[in-house]
Structure 1
């Protein structure tokens, strides 16, 4: 059985201090899991475990079940080399304030080395106390609207978690629909079929072909044709040369002038 690949996100703790509403704990777990974070620490939560937390976790109950509950912030930060306080208020600070986009690559670099990182979030009403902030060696602030910077706890976690995710992985290939690419042989057969069909319908004069086929090769050569696309094109060519019995083929004005018209 193959061992799951380790991620730097596995070294990042989300620490919620003195959370009042259990729903915010559940919503935080959901925000974390969507971005690949899994280590949740709770410092003296008012209500936990709680059914409301499980309801709002919405598929991330495993994070709640694995959450570590402690009485003191010091216990949640034990062993961490980078401890980040989230704060939206002006404080008398000895460390500079960074935004999440600036800080995330720094934290991920530390996590890649195998060090543990903690990001600390305060209560819903008042955030972190000055004493809690002093236990951190970095401060991060989300650059929200200065006239209305109120963020729900889980929303703040989501913003930070998103920036951490972006610092690790921006690949969206798993969302792309995948199809089998056409082989060289498939494409060469298509060109041969195309040339024959264009001659049959009078668009290509074999005595004066000019550069029609090289131009068509250049046109289709700009993209990577998929096998299904080659099949569609060849089906169109067959329909053009061999119209179904009983279907009326209407000649458009000027059709007689189009033979060999491509330079």
Structure 2
């Protein structure tokens, strides 16, 4: 049976996550940008102002997206079940992430959404996403604006991504022969499971005396970057955590058994 836009699983699994938006009007404008392109999942992280009358006015009929938007106290809660997270960035960072442009981002989000939940992070109007927030992303995306005037309104940026997603989605509907890649068949670890690994890794490094994670944030950031590139699946996460537990057990004189597949 041909899916309608309202029941298309791929579109329904793509969430736009606004991190600490300052103006409720921008939230409404993002909701409008999303709905015009068939997207419905809006998540808010610690908004400075909850959606109000101004947000409703700027939404121009996308009231349902505002009504059903998730509101979270922190970013981990907003992306916990996502298999891929892409963060928007307007400037170069100390560590090199794989950086996409909007068309590649749309393709990546749609492909991955065929297998599970995915997220696009949009940062604060004034300062974007922090390095710590970007460290939770597998990819970054940059809109190639005029370098002499690169500032984009939050809703304008959201409209660029929403349009590219819809363009790719329409191409997919027209191409019935397109098959999912082997990568999409992997049961990738979620953001929450990756966070569990990173916490366990930091504890283990401290336990075995390998540096001081409290004063070596760059080391932990590089390790995050390593695993974000590798994109381990759930079995691999269990193996890695079993190794870490064994290392902790040897340090304390206890033996640890490896996890079962």
Decide: shared fold, TM above 0.5. Answer: yes
Which residue of 2 is the match for residue 41 of structure 1? 43
1:1-263 equivalences under 5 Å are 5-113=7-115, 115-170=116-171
Higher helix share: 2
* 1: CA distance, partners of 2:92 / 2:153: 19
Shift of 1:93: 2.8
Q: How many residues are matched?
A: 171
* 1: CA distance, partners of 2:104 / 2:171: 16
Shift of 1:6: 2.2
* 2: CA distance, partners of 1:3 / 1:148: 41
**Structure 1: 4+ residue segments shifted above 6 A:** none
Q: What do residues 81-100 of structure 1 show as CA deviations (whole Å, max 9, x unaligned)?
A: 11000011111234211101
Which residue of 1 is the match for residue 180 of structure 2? none
Q: Structure 2: which 5+ residue stretches go unaligned?
A: 175-261
In the alignment, is the contact (CA less than 8 A) between 2:18 and 2:122 conserved in 1?
Answer: yes
Shift of 1:106: 2.0
Shift of 1:49: 2.7
Structure showing greater radius of gyration is 1
TM-score between both structures, scaled by the size of structure 2: 0.62
* 1: CA distance, partners of 2:81 / 2:96: 22
Which residue of 1 is the match for residue 248 of structure 2? none
Shift of 1:65: 0.1
The Cα RMSD (Å) is 2.0
